[in-house]
Amino acid sequence: MHVLVVAKEPIAGRVKTRLCPPLDPREAAAVAEAALADTLDAVAGSGADRWILALDGRPGPWLPAGFEVVPQRGDGLAERLAAAWQDAGGPGIQIGMDTPQVTAGILDAALARLDPTGRHALLGPASDGGWWAVGLPCATPEIFTGVPMSSPHTGRLQAERMRSFGWDVDLLDEMRDIDTVEDLDVVAAALPGSCLAATVATLALGARALTAALA
């Protein structure tokens, strides 16, 4: 079984743009790089048979050894997710770079719930109404067709789409995406010693002060 990460190269102006302002594009890219590094470290510590990164861009020093890297393909997020599953196959778990609080243990527990011969799929809901993880017993790229991405209803509609394929959808624990500076503050505070926490500590005001400035 694999863990598939779908991510963008952390380049200023292309990642975490919703954090700007109060962050500037360079700071937002530093946050994205730290979140991606923590996420990939968690994957590398898991017991998955394969670690795969579907990447929009080029690998950098943040990429641990042992990952298979495939380029993202398609227009729009739904097409890119489908293409990533075509390249990765299945069974496996797919995550993004917005929940660096994921751990190797969380991933291993999710993998253990997947039965390649069964009719159960997994979905990890996000607190903003989206999702942070999808687990499939076999590669089925079509599950993303027609699901609107980045909406408050994405998680619910994704689950409905998965059920339309005859799967029972088991829910993983909810996680918080880093979409806003408040999210960044909360997630970084929960991850002492992480790349994300260290990066936030170097920001000019610190995430907590930035949150207060927006209040």
Residues 118-127 have pLDDT tens digits of: 889 999 999 9
Contacts of 19 (CB under 8 A, 6+ apart): 27, 28, 31, 178, 180, 181, 184
Query: What percent of the chain has a predicted confidence (pLDDT) above 90?
Result: 87
**pTM (two decimals):** 0.93
Asked which of 116-120, 128-132, 165-169, 185-189 is least confident by mean pLDDT, the reply is: 116-120
In CATH, which superfamily holds the domain spanning 2-174? Spore Coat Polysaccharide Biosynthesis Protein SpsA; Chain A (3.90.550.10)
- Please choose, from the candidates 28, 38, 182, the residue with its C-alpha nearest in 3D space to the C-alpha of residue 102: 38
